[in-house]
């Protein structure tokens, strides 16, 4: 049962958090600490706010009402904005030089069609041409992401070839471009230098010090340069990186030590933490949320001392967001079967998952349903309507997928992720509000 917050307005996203003898009222983007008012009384006040006599409190509550209306409007504007691509994610096939215990890309749990290789270079060029019209007209930056299924650098020659082809088109069109690669960091010297010099940001997946990394992510065939050394070499070529760590039940109690390793040994300035995806019986259960939360806060507080970013993408209070669907992020994700996908995880062929394809003349077209797919990605499940994270939650994706049948009514959210997301949101809200006391 949720004992962290209560929704105190019938229709609008206004929530109350009990905080000692005070209460915090929160709507996405704004919070205020006030003297305690019981929930029922608050609901009545909001219904007849114009009759309030206490002018100071009336002013504050009117302000929060306005803010909550604004946030609702912003959300509706976002979901109604037509899809306008600004990012190409080039998704390599499932081949990888590691064999992580939790890898979902080649796993039966996703029931994915197994895709191998690297997307066709001509398809990449055509999509860049396609996206360039959109980014030019909106004056946005074009983002190129090299990503897996598996490990994108496994297809090194193709990766480099596509980079130079894209760079040529981008230069001819005078576009502003940002290159990102998500890699497991199993790189040789040449690759490290090349990536450091050509990528604007290198996202390294690493789960912690060697003992943890080698246990969770191992290779029977080869040994690789340790990740802290990879990071050091990237920096020596003036490259930039951040680190993404998958946290499992076995590693959660070491989260502070993992963070220390990233800060002191790897010299990381930004760390992203994700609880392991789709791990079934080995994954986190409801009862693990409090313990995950405790270790997360300890590690984040440690990182704060060194001004190192420490993030979790499941709930981001400073933006309005839903799950990780590409349609929400104006991204075209090209896979090796020459279609574009809405999902980073499930490689399905049904209409909710395919965002674009090539016709017989090899002309790329977005799906005619693309705006509808985008709207559905923003859908708020019934169970989220009373939640403080209503407008800033990944909905536990990919454990829970918004495109499951029976969408808004009978869905079963992932209870571990819900509890964790709620704990984290409430902690951040309390901490960011506690120094501001509004008299009423
Ligand atoms: S590095 Fe990524 S793709 Fe490779 S086995 Fe590990 S989780 Fe899977
Ligand atoms: S998924 Fe869970 S935490 Fe997220 S908004 Fe829905 S109920 Fe809240
Ligand atoms: S909501 Fe579903 S389709 Fe969207 S990113 Fe998550 S798992 Fe993929």
Tell me which residue of 404, 411, 399 sits closest to 377, measured CA to CA.
404
Contact 344, 104 (CB under 8 A): no
Give CA separation, 426 vs 46, 66, 188, 436, in Å: 22, 21, 43, 16
Contact 15, 25 (CB under 8 A): yes
Ligand 2 atom with minimal separation from the 315 CA: 4
Supply the pLDDT for residue 408. 43
Model confidence at 107: pLDDT above 70: no
Read off the pLDDT of residues 142-186 as tens digits, 9 standing for 90 and up.
999 999 899 999 999 999 999 999 999 999 999 999 999 999 999
Q: Over 237-259, what HEC string results?
A: CCCCEEEEEEECCCCHHHHHHHH
- Could you give the CA distance from residue 261 to residue 246 in angstroms, rounded to a whole number? 14
Supply the pLDDT for residue 6. 96
- Ligand 2 and 401: CB distance under 6 A: no
Report the share of the chain in percent with pLDDT over 70.
95
**Neighbouring-strand partners of residue 245:** 273
Model confidence at 233: pLDDT above 50: yes
Supply the pLDDT for residue 440. 34
Supply the pLDDT for residue 434. 64
Residue nearest to atom 6 of ligand 1 (CA): 100
440 or 257: which leads in pLDDT: 257
- Ligand nearest the Cα of residue 98 is 1
- Ligand 2 and 395: CB distance under 6 A: yes
Phi-psi region of 278 (alpha: psi -120 to 50; beta: other; left: phi over 0): left
Tell me which residue of 285, 302, 280, 209 sits closest to 251, measured CA to CA.
209
**Residues sharing a CB contact under 8 Å with residue 301, sequence separation 6 or more, in sequence order:** none
Q: What is the band of 438 on the pLDDT scale with cuts at 50, 70, 90?
A: very low
Ligand 2 centroid – CA 116 distance (Å): 35
Model confidence at 373: pLDDT above 50: yes
Q: What is the mean pLDDT of the chain?
A: 92
For the chain, how big is the Rg over CA atoms in Å? 23
Contact 180, 89 (CB under 8 A): no
When mean pLDDT is compared across 148-152, 207-211, 403-407, the lowest value belongs to 403-407
The residue-averaged pLDDT of 371-382 equals: 94
Ligand 2 centroid – CA 416 distance (Å): 10
Read off the pLDDT of residues 297-356 as tens digits, 9 standing for 90 and up.
999 999 999 999 999 999 999 999 999 999 999 999 999 999 999 999 998 888 789 999
Report the share of the chain in percent with pLDDT over 90.
80
- Could you give the CA distance from residue 357 to residue 364 in angstroms, rounded to a whole number? 6
- Mutation pick for ligand 1 pocket among 91, 92, 95, 96 (CB with most ligand atoms within 8 Å): 96
- Ligand nearest the Cα of residue 346 is 3
Ligand 1 centroid – CA 99 distance (Å): 6
Q: What is the band of 59 on the pLDDT scale with cuts at 50, 70, 90?
A: very high
Q: What is the band of 279 on the pLDDT scale with cuts at 50, 70, 90?
A: confident
Q: Is the pTM of this model over 0.85?
A: yes
- Mutation pick for ligand 3 pocket among 79, 91, 324, 378 (CB with most ligand atoms within 8 Å): 324
Supply the pLDDT for residue 437. 43
Supply the pLDDT for residue 334. 98
Ligand 2 atom with minimal separation from the 421 CA: 3
Ligand 1 centroid – CA 212 distance (Å): 15
- Mutation pick for ligand 2 pocket among 395, 408, 414, 417 (CB with most ligand atoms within 8 Å): 395
Supply the pLDDT for residue 424. 97
φ/ψ of 107, rounded to 5, equals -100, 150
Ligand 2 centroid – CA 185 distance (Å): 33
């Amino acid at each position: 049962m949720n004992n962290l917050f209560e929704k105190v307005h019938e229709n609008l996203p206004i929530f109350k958090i009990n905080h000692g003898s005070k209460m915090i009222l929160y709507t996405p983007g704004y919070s205020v600490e006030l003297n305690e008012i019981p929930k029922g009384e608050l609901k009545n006040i909001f219904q007849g706010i114009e009759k309030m006599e206490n002018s100071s409190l009336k002013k504050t509550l009117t302000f929060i009402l306005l803010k909550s209306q604004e946030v609702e409007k912003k959300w509706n504007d976002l979901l109604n904005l037509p899809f306008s691509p600004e990012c190409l994610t080039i998704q390599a096939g499932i081949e990888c030089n590691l064999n992580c215990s939790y890898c979902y890309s080649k796993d039966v749990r996703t029931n994915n069609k197994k895709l191998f290789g690297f997307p066709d270079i001509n398809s990449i060029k055509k999509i860049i041409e396609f996206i360039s019209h959109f980014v030019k007209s909106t004056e946005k930056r074009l983002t190129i992401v090299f990503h897996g299924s598996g490990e994108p650098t496994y297809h090194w020659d193709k990766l480099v070839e596509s980079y130079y082809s894209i760079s040529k088109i981008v230069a001819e069109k005078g576009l502003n471009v940002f290159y990102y690669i998500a890699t497991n960091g199993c790189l040789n010297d040449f690759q490290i230098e090349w990536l450091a010099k050509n990528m604007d940001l290198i996202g390294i997946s690493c789960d912690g010090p060697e003992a943890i990394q080698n246990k969770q992510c191992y290779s029977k065939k080869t040994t690789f340069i340790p990740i802290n050394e990879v990071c050091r070499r990237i920096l020596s070529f003036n490259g930039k990186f951040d680190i993404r760590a998958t946290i499992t039940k076995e590693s959660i109690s070491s989260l502070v030590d993992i963070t220390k390793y990233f800060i002191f040994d790897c010299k990381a300035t930004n760390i992203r933490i994700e609880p392991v995806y789709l791990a079934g019986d080995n994954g986190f259960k409801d009862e693990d949320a409090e313990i995950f939360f405790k270790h997360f806060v300890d590690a984040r507080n440690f990182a704060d001392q060194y001004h190192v970013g420490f993030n979790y993408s499941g709930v981001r209070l400073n933006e309005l967001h839903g799950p990780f669907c590409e349609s929400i992020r104006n991204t075209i994700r090209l896979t090796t079967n020459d279609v574009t996908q809405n999902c980073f995880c499930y490689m399905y062929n049904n209409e909710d998952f395919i965002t674009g394809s090539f016709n017989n003349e090899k002309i790329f077209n977005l799906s005619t349903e693309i705006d509808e797919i985008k709207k559905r990605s923003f859908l708020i499940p019934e169970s989220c309507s009373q939640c403080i994270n209503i407008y800033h939650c990944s909905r536990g994706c990919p454990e829970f997928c918004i495109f499951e049948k029976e969408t808004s009514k009978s869905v079963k959210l992932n209870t571990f992720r819900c509890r964790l997301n709620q704990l984290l949101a409430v902690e951040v809200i309390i901490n960011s509000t506690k120094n501001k006391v509004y008299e009423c």
